[in-house]
Each structure stands twice: as C-alpha cells, then as structure tokens.
Chain A
Amino acid sequence: MTMFTRSDKVSETGGGAKPPARDDTPAPAEAKRPQATAQPLSHTAPPPPPKAAASTVSVISKALKITGQLESTEDIQIDGMVDGDVRGVSVTVGGDAKIKGTVYGEEVKLSGTVDGKIEAQRVVLTSTAHMSGDVVHQNIKIEAGAFINGHCRPDFGKPESKALPPPHKPAAAPPEQKRDAVVGAP
C-alpha cells in the first residue's frame, strides 16, 4: 500500500513539472538518433522520417519490381517493372519501365514497354514507346518512332463489341418461328 501511495505522491508532485518535460522529450529523442547510428553495427543512417505532406502521385522507381496488381484513384508514374495489371487515373510509363499486363486509366502516356493491353480514354505513345498488344482508346497520339504490334481500337467507353452480336440473333430467329408456324399450320 505504501508503494501505491508513494507512487501517487510522486506523480502528484511531478505533475506540475511534467507537462514542460513532455514537450521537451521529442527534441532529445531526435537528438539521440545520431548517437544511436554511431553504433558499429548501424553503419547506415536510419530511414529518414516520413514527410508530413505525402504527395499524392505514386512513383514506382526503376529499381522496383512489382509482381501483382496496382490500383489507384490517383496518378501513377511507373519507371520500374510491373508484372500485372495497373489501374490509375493518369498513368505515365517511363522509358525504362516494363509492364506485363493491362494498363487501365483515363490517360496513359507510354514511353516504355507494355506487353499486354492498354485501355484508356487518352493514349499517348511517345517515340520510345514499345507496345505489344491492343490499344483501346478514345483519343490516341502516336509519335514517330513508336512501336506497336497490335490493334488500335477506338472503343473505349463504348459497350463491348460482344454486345453487337445479339441484334443478329433475332434476325436468325424468325426463320425458326416460320418453321414452327409451318409445322403448326397443318
């Protein structure tokens, strides 16, 4: 019991002095970091503290390889390798970038290599672009020197081409009905 009361007293007595001490603690903690790095093992600086304002653009640097999907409701800049689909609003594929998969977006600017498909409202293939596969677009700009092996279809935002066959089916149906009618008549 005495321990409890004692600790309470300590906290009470220290209570008045503590608030300023708390304000001060972050600064010493930061000041101590360099000392911590001076240890023989940590020959590297610790990762820099995260910036308060995170920019909204995602950058996949050239040293990064991603196997899987990327999805963003904002812009993506890709300079590395992606093995999978990419979905973004504005997708910029840099000159060193390689993508195997489909790139979806409102705007896709390709300077690197895509092996797969591009589906975007606006597509720009720069002179260094290497595109193997189809491009589904609404607006397209192809600079001289760009490589394309595939179809360019201005079908973006339109109903799928598979939606077209149904009108043919009713056309094929009437003969059957006629047959039925013929069969039913006698």
Chain B
Amino acid sequence: MSALSLSSLVKPPRRDDAEELPVSHLGRALTVRGVLDTEGEIRVHGKVLGRINADCLVLDTGGLVEGDIVARDVRVSGRLNGRIFALHVTLDSSADITGRVFHHTLTMAKGARVEGRMPWRPLNYFETLEQLPETRQ
C-alpha cells in the first residue's frame, strides 16, 4: 500500500482494478483524524480531519473535510475547509468550500459556495504534484 502515485492520475484508470477496488464509505457518525490513503474510491458522509489521497472522492452532503484532498476525481456536496488538488472537480449546489481548488477541469453548480481561489493548472502540474511547495506540509 504505497502512497498514491500522482503521476498515475493523468493516465487512464486501470478499469479492471478500479472495479475490483471496493468503495470505502465513511458514515455520518464517523470521525477520522489522520491521513486516508487509497487508490480506490472514498465516500465521506462524516467528518475527516486530515489529508485524503484517493483516486476518486465523493464528499457527500453533511460530510465535512478539514484538510487537503489529493485525487483524480473529486465531487463535493458537503463542506470543505482546505484545499483540493484534482484533475476533475465537480461542485454540487450544496458544496461549501473555504480554501483553494486546484483543478484541470471544473464543473460547478449554481448555488455552490466557494470562498477562495480556484486556480486552473495544466496536466503536468498534477504529475509533479508531490514536488510542489503547495503540497508540502
């Protein structure tokens, strides 16, 4: 279980593996403090205080993340206090974000609230994400 290699973010997903990997589901009553690291999908309905590395992340309505999200696909319907580094970002109308959204493609619904910048970045930015000062802690 190595950390998610970000260079793989740009490559097409390995469909076979992606389907094999089951979805992690963090329920409403769950609070996680720390780092979540997966090459699969995470659905957050509860609270995460810390960093999330995933292939695909869904932050559901009622979910709260305080920390950075690094993923290929991110869909936000809940609250985020932190940064997103993702190729494809989807913000639903109930999204409430304080922080920055680094993206390559962005879909944003009417009603989504974003306080902060949403910088566009080229593909190679996400390849070299781990070396960038912005992700250093």
Listed in ascending order, the chain A residues whose CB lies under 8 Å from chain B are: 29, 33, 36, 39, 41-44, 46-51, 54-76, 79-81, 83-84
Question: Which bucket holds chain B's interface residue count?
Answer: 35 or more
Q: Is the interface of B mostly helix, strand, loop or mixed?
A: strand
B6-40 interface bits toward A, Cβ cutoff 8 Å, 1 = contact, 0 = none: 00000011000000011111111111111111111
Residue pair B27, A67 in contact (C-beta under 8 Å): no
A29 to chain B, nearest CB (A): 7
For B25, list chain A residues within 8 Å (CB).
55, 57-59, 61
Partner of A47, one of B21, B46, B73: B73
Partner of B27, one of A50, A58, A83: A58
For A73, list chain B residues within 8 Å (CB).
29
Could you tell me the distance between the alpha carbons of A83 and B73 in the complex, rounded to whole angstroms? 26
Listed in ascending order, the chain B residues whose CB lies under 8 Å from chain A are: 1, 12-13, 21-43, 45-46, 50, 56-58, 60-62, 72-75, 77, 87-88, 90, 92, 104-105, 107, 109, 123
Residue of B nearest to A83 (CB): B34
Which of B25, B40, B45, B90 counts the most A-chain CB atoms under 10 A from its CB?
A: B25
B120 to chain A, nearest CB (A): 12
Could you tell me the distance between the alpha carbons of A29 and B41 in the complex, rounded to whole angstroms? 24
Which of B39, B40, B43 counts the most A-chain CB atoms under 10 A from its CB?
A: B43
Residue of A nearest to B59 (CB): A50
Residue of B nearest to A45 (CB): B73
Could you tell me the distance between the alpha carbons of A41 and B40 in the complex, rounded to whole angstroms? 20
Could you tell me the distance between the alpha carbons of A66 and B37 in the complex, rounded to whole angstroms? 6
Could you tell me the distance between the alpha carbons of A84 and B62 in the complex, rounded to whole angstroms? 25
Could you tell me the distance between the alpha carbons of A59 and B44 in the complex, rounded to whole angstroms? 10
27 inter-chain pairs at a CB distance below 8 angstroms, sorted by A residue, are A29-B109, A33-B107, A36-B105, A42-B105, A43-B12, A47-B56, A48-B58, A49-B75, A49-B92, A50-B58, A51-B60, A54-B28, A55-B27, A59-B22, A62-B21, A63-B39, A64-B36, A65-B38, A66-B32, A66-B37, A68-B34, A70-B32, A71-B30, A71-B33, A72-B27, A72-B31, A79-B22
Could you tell me the distance between the alpha carbons of A61 and B90 in the complex, rounded to whole angstroms? 23
For B38, list chain A residues within 8 Å (CB).
61, 63-65, 80
For B107, list chain A residues within 8 Å (CB).
33, 36, 46
For A71, list chain B residues within 8 Å (CB).
30-33
Partner of B29, one of A49, A50, A68, A74: A74
Partner of A54, one of B35, B37, B60, B73: B60
Could you tell me the distance between the alpha carbons of A97 and B58 in the complex, rounded to whole angstroms? 23
Residue pair A44, B73 in contact (C-beta under 8 Å): yes
For B62, list chain A residues within 8 Å (CB).
54
Residue pair B22, A63 in contact (C-beta under 8 Å): yes
Given A66-B36, A67-B37: 4 more A-B contacts, CB < 8 Å: A60-B24, A64-B40, A65-B37, A66-B34
Residue pair B73, A46 in contact (C-beta under 8 Å): yes
Residue pair A44, B90 in contact (C-beta under 8 Å): no
